Chain A
Amino acid sequence: MSSLLEVKHLKKYYATQKAVDDISCSIPDGSIFGLLGPNGAGKTTLLRMITGIFYPDSGQILFDGRPFRPEEDLVHIGYMPEERGLYKKMKIGEQAMYLARLKGLSKAEATERINYWFDRLDMNSWAGKKMEDLSKGMGQKLQFVMTILHNPKLIILDEPFSGLDPVNANLIKDEIYELASKGSTIIFSTHRMEQVEEICDQIILVNRGKKILDGTVAQVKQDFKEHLFHLETAATLTTYSHPSFEVVQKNPKSLVLRIQPGFQSNHVLEYFISTGQIVVCFQEILPTLNDIFIKLVEGTPLSRQFQTTVPQ
């Protein structure tokens, strides 16, 4: 799969911090890409460089296979920042029109797109209202619509679900899937791991300005698995012992086992079958992204320390 966006050795140093320190990654066309990291890891700075708000100190950004040119490429990007906002006193319909036209849509196109999305997300009655009349969740939904109005190739969502109730969160989630299936590429920045696990194809994990993990969700989980299995039997387990596993946790009718090096899951199954136990359930326990995240980020200082950097 070709990459819509490729980032090579990107660096951005502030006076007291290396906000982004040599990050490279590539985002496949049409994928949902998770950008993870603790607070202050450099996610927002990275996104701001991708959206042309900041210039990198060094490194290269390739958009659609050629060097990123903000003037032309920005119309293909929709960015929903974490700190979101719209004009308080401006009518919502006018606001949507303004932002859509700033993205290069003609008046007719913009009207059509706004009508389509307001219809689709049941927001028609909002058009004449002002921002200050909306609740936080409504504002969130509106911001999402404004981000995707111009049908961007690349959609960047920074914490899109914060402040949304489950119903609306699901609504937005479905839209994200829909957009991805229609060929949009989505960068999804968050520190809510369960959402990432659910939505993303591929992730990178950033900490203290550096990339510490890169891969598909499935692959990452495989890489960090601890060979744990969950076993459930029909009758109460009494005695069991075999060189292929070690018991991590035991309950009357279920066990958590760790498979020893040199053995495979089938060895364990064969042993239990041979003891005459009826196996009801046998399942590998893969680490959650949350576990992986905590494991990788733990031990590094919680908040970034200020340091002096040498400007390039």
Chain B
Amino acid sequence: MNKTGLVIQREYLTRVKKKSFLVFTILIPTIIIGFYVGLFAVSMSGNSTREHIAVIDKAGLFDGKDKQVKEFTFHLVPTNQEALIAKQYEHQGYDGYLLIPVNAVDTPSGMHFQRISEAGSGAQNDLNEILAGLISHKRMEAAHIDAQLIRQLTPEVSINATIGTEARQSVSEVARWAGFAAGFLIYFILLIYGTMVMRGVTEEKTTRIAEVIVSSVKPFQLMMGKILGIGAVGLTQFLIWGILLYALQLLLPLAWPALGHSLQNAGPQGAEGYFGMLMHEVAPLNFTFILLCFLFYFLGGYLLFASLFAAVGSSVSDDAQEAQQMVMPITLIIVFSLVLMVKASADPNSSLAVFGSIFPLTSPIVMMGRIPYGIPTIPLWQIATSMILLIGAFFGTTWVSGKIYRTGILLYGKKVTLKEMLRWASKRN
């Protein structure tokens, strides 16, 4: 095996074999997903508390019938029991008492509602809405307007544009979120794995192992081995997450049928229905295309920034604070990309988005924000230019970083200035 291969192997194995890798890779996503599933289940079940309201309906809003609307069940009480029920609604098992005076249709503010305990603002709003609906119905009747007819005459409009020459439905809403998510993911990857590279380099420098190793391999091989090895760790992590997510989706209804039921009971869409709806929503997205682009920008962006992080790592001494300072410009670029990406995912063809997605230092994050919109929206030439520039920039930064790294890794105890780093970078062999 060649030497770079050995370095890659070491970087990869030492990280993957660590316990913290397993914890980070398997436990954390499980906890996060479990947390959201739990949250979802709780919020769904919260809606099912029923409130029983005693109603004295002098205005005839309820047409003399008990009604069950949303979380409320309205029980009509004969109007002659008004005084009794006002005092005793609690003893008779009601959660609240509603008095609708005779003139409620003209002056709704005359209505009186009393309850045992504070209701959530959601319940209060629902009640107001229900009563407003009933009153408006009565008013329409008084004005001889057929409410039924109005409902029939009001059209529901939801245009789906057909994009380009393809007979494909518009994806703007879901594409926005997909782009946002992908951009965010790249952002995290660059920061997390970039920092990992930087730490690794600094460790090699401060433990002085670098000097032992560069008497066996070229500094450039050592740097590239580290970058590629950690990149492979990242890919492994994504693979595991992918499998985990897939397995979870299959296992969830089996392992926890109660959740499926509660979802089913909660609304028109049950667990399958919910996933089905989700699937239907994202169906127009070209997943293969997004995934391939994601892989490209993940690798390209990672390789581009990892070499910069490596250069910084090689230039700092043991001082963690110093490393923080030196890495700041790189971190700022990445954070700036994130800001551009948020804009780009909402408005994929704004000039800022176009620039950000082509300029190689910001393109990995920004372009991922645009990619889910698909080819005709994002011109092919822009994607091609962006990719070519990214590859070119990767070679450029790696070349420069390699030179800084070579000098920095063997320089001890001295604080390196940016000027010195630039001089190393411009030095001939």
- Chain A residues with a Cβ under 8 A of chain B: 15, 48, 51-53, 55, 70, 74-75, 77, 79-81, 83-90, 98-99, 101-103, 143, 146
Contact = CB atoms under 8 A, between A and B. Distances in A.
A102 B213 contact: yes
B428 to A, nearest CB: 10
Nearest to A156: B215
A101 B6 contact: yes
B410 interface: yes
A74 B216 CA distance: 6
A48 to B, nearest CB: 7
A75 B217 CA distance: 10
24 contacts: A48-B410, A51-B215, A52-B215, A53-B410, A74-B216, A77-B215, A79-B212, A79-B215, A80-B212, A81-B208, A81-B211, A81-B212, A83-B211, A83-B412, A85-B208, A85-B209, A85-B210, A85-B211, A98-B6, A99-B212, A101-B1, A101-B6, A102-B3, A146-B212
Nearest to A51: B215
B429 interface: yes
B103 interface: no
B215 A74 contact: yes
A159 to B, nearest CB: 13
Contacts of B7: 102
Contacts of B152: none
B214 A53 contact: yes
B211 A99 contact: no
Contacts of A146: 212
A53 B429 contact: no
B114 interface: no
A84 to B, nearest CB: 6
A87 B209 contact: yes
Contacts, number: 63
Given A77-B215, A98-B10, A101-B1, 14 more contacts: A48-B410, A51-B215, A53-B211, A74-B216, A84-B211, A84-B212, A85-B206, A85-B209, A85-B211, A86-B209, A87-B203, A89-B14, A99-B216, A101-B6
A103 B2 CA distance: 10
Nearest to A50: B215
A87 B14 CA distance: 11
B212 A53 contact: no
Best-surrounded residue of A81, A143, A146 (most CB of chain B within 10 A): A81
B216 A103 contact: yes
Contacts of A70: 218
Contacts of B203: 87-88
A74 B215 CA distance: 7
Given A48-B410, A55-B429, A102-B6, A86 B212 contact: yes
Contacts of B1: 101
Contacts of B213: 99, 102
